[in-house]
Amino acid sequence: MTTEHGKIAKLSVDDISVPGTEVSVYQALYQRRMAWHFKDEEVPESALERMLEVAVWAPNHRLTEPWRFFVVSRAIPLRQTLGDQAYEVSMERRGDPKRAENTRRSILDAPVLIYVYCVPGANEEATQENYASVSCASHNISLAGVAEGLAVTWETGGATRHPNLNKTLGAEEGWTLVTMLSVGFPAESPAAFRTPVNNFLHWHK
Ligand SMILES: Cc1cc2nc3c(=O)[nH]c(=O)nc-3n(C[C@H](O)[C@H](O)[C@H](O)COP(=O)(O)O)c2cc1C
């Protein structure tokens, strides 16, 4: 939103009407799961809007706001192009038409796709910080998804590696894709395991 002077109007946190949810922060953190099969059910646009709105409240050093989002609805010609590109990369990498077709189908069938990009910073350090911030923003989307009953699945593999992807979506050449998120009501409840944190922890007391 721009003001009459052409400046982007900033939101204060005091302007936000926080969506109500029964899900606690800890529930969202533990119960968030990625899914690879989705119900054939529309994702309400209002839910998507809430998830995207919360994305930009991720921490970002020097308030660079380095995220850029491209939401792609299902059954539009752009999906076909993205599916064809994913097929092409898979064939180039693995040469297996069946596998490549599965990749194409996953792009065509996901109820909603969100491509999350990071803009470069003024130097390498700032670019690295930007990438970290965009990861946080993507995770905000995933966590808000729990409150909406939606699974949000990250993909950084071949389906996101076509050399023309930025052009296809309308992203600038220098932007880096951080993740492609498939969003939908999950048709599965994948089991989840983690190694307890004590195995990775050095606590200097
Ligand atoms: C940076 C990142 C990239 C990922 N890329 C892929 C991917 O390309 N393909 C895939 O199947 N899952 C991908 N995942 C999802 C992980 O496989 C998933 O987090 C893991 O299976 C654990 O599932 P959970 O997060 O639901 O516990 C990615 C996750 C992250 C954080």
At 125-169, the pLDDT tens digits run: 999 999 999 999 999 999 999 999 999 999 999 999 999 999 999
pLDDT at 6 over 80: no
Has residue 144 been placed in a domain? Answer: yes
Atom of ligand 1 minimally distant from the CA of 178? 1
Task: With respect to residue 179, please indicate whether it lies within any of the assigned structural domains.
Answer: yes
Residues 6+ apart with CB under 8 A from 51: 140, 141, 144, 145, 148, 150, 152, 183
CATH number at residue 166: 3.40.109.10
Q: Looking at the predicted structure, is the pLDDT value of residue 90 above 80?
A: yes
Quick one: which atom of ligand 1 is closest to the CA of 156? 8
Mean of the per-residue pLDDT values of the chain: 96
Q: Which residue from 36, 113, 156, 178 has its CB within 8 A of the most atoms of ligand 1, so it is best to mutate?
A: 156
CA–centroid distance, 183 to ligand 1, in Å, is 13
In a domain? residue 42: yes
Please say whether the dihedral angle defined by the alpha carbons of residues 136, 141, 142 and 147, taken in this order, is positive or negative.
positive
Asked if residue 50 lies in contact with residue 19, where contact means CB atoms within 8 angstroms, the answer is yes
Q: State mean pLDDT over 99-103.
A: 97
Q: Which atom of ligand 1 is nearest to the CA of 159?
A: 8
C-alpha span between 88 and 159 (Å, rounded): 9
Whether the per-residue pLDDT at 4 is higher than 80: the answer is: no
CB under 6 Å to ligand 1: residues? 33-34, 154-157, 179, 192
Report CA 75 to chain centroid distance, whole Å.
19
Number of structural domains, the chain?
Answer: 1
User: How many Cβ atoms are within 10 Å of 24's Cβ, its own excluded?
Assistant: 11
Instruction: Indicate if the pLDDT at residue 2 is higher than 70.
Output: no
In a domain, 167, yes or no: yes
Structural domain boundaries enclosing 116: 35-74+111-187
In a domain, 162, yes or no: yes
User: What spacing in Å lies between the alpha carbon of 93 and ligand 1's midpoint?
Assistant: 20
Among residues of the chain, what percentage have pLDDT more than 90? 95
The atom of ligand 1 lying closest to the CA of 194 is 27
CA dist 89 and 72 (Å) reads 20
Q: Which residues of 153-165 are buried (b: 16+ CB within 10 A; e: fewer)?
A: bbbeebbbbbeeb
Q: What is the pTM of this model?
A: 0.96
> Does residue 127 sit within a domain?
yes
| pLDDT at residue number 7 | 82
